[in-house]
């Protein structure tokens, strides 16, 4: 399945967007260009990438998964919706720079998409609060 930004933004909730993006194939640590440190650094330090990164953050208004109301307060990451291989990067496959293949995410969301280690904040249902529920001596 090829994931696209155009399809992603049609999903109205954080949980739906997260489900759309999370890696289900169990290929944690699968070979991507990220495993070639020199290539990874050359790509992410390039002025071409830095310019595109800024454009994606602006497009997504600095929000996690591009969803209004989920502003990222710390460093924003740019996630490739479809993993990019070493060969694709070496061949300069346009998918590595295609805005349709990129989304702004928080650190926790990025790790949850790749490793499933922790649910991102937006995918957790909010707690319904009641008067005095945080005060143990009042009921």
Q: 69 is in which domain, residue-wise? A: 5-123
Nearest of 4, 22, 121, 9 to residue 71 by alpha carbon: 121
Q: Is residue 131 part of a domain?
A: no
Assigned domain for 138 exists: no
Q: Report whether 106 contacts 77 (CB < 8 A).
A: yes
The answer to the question of residue 136 being in a domain is: no
Domain total in the chain: 1
Instruction: Answer yes or no: is 84 within a domain.
Output: yes
What pLDDT is recorded for position 52?
97
What is the C-alpha to C-alpha distance for residues 73 and 54, in angstroms, rounded to an integer? 16
Q: Does a structural domain hold residue 133?
A: no
130 lies in a domain? no
* Integer angstrom CA distances of residue 94 from 7, 55, 100: 19, 16, 11
pLDDT of residue 83: 87
Q: Quick one: average pLDDT of 9-37?
A: 74
User: 26 falls in which pLDDT band (50, 70, 90)?
Assistant: very low
pLDDT tens-place string over residues 67-118:
999 999 999 999 999 988 888 888 999 999 999 999 999 999 998 888 876 5
Q: State the pTM of this model.
A: 0.77
Q: What is the mean pLDDT of residues 5-24?
A: 91
- Average pLDDT across the chain, whole number: 83
């Amino acid at each position: 399945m090829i994931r696209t930004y155009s399809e992603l933004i049609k999903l109205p909730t954080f949980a739906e967007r997260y489900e759309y993006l999370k890696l289900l194939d169990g290929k944690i640590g699968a070979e991507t260009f990220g495993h070639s440190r020199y290539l990874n650094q050359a790509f992410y330090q390039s002025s071409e990438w830095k310019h595109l990164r800024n454009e994606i953050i602006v497009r997504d208004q600095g929000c996690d998964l591009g969803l209004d109301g989920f502003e990222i307060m710390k460093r924003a990451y740019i996630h490739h919706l479809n993993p990019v291989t070493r060969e694709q990067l070496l061949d300069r496959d346009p998918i590595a720079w295609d805005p349709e293949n990129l989304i702004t995410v928080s650190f926790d969301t990025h790790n949850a998409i790749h490793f499933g280690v922790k649910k991102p904040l937006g995918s957790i249902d909010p707690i319904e609060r009641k008067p005095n529920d945080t005060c143990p001596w009042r009921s």
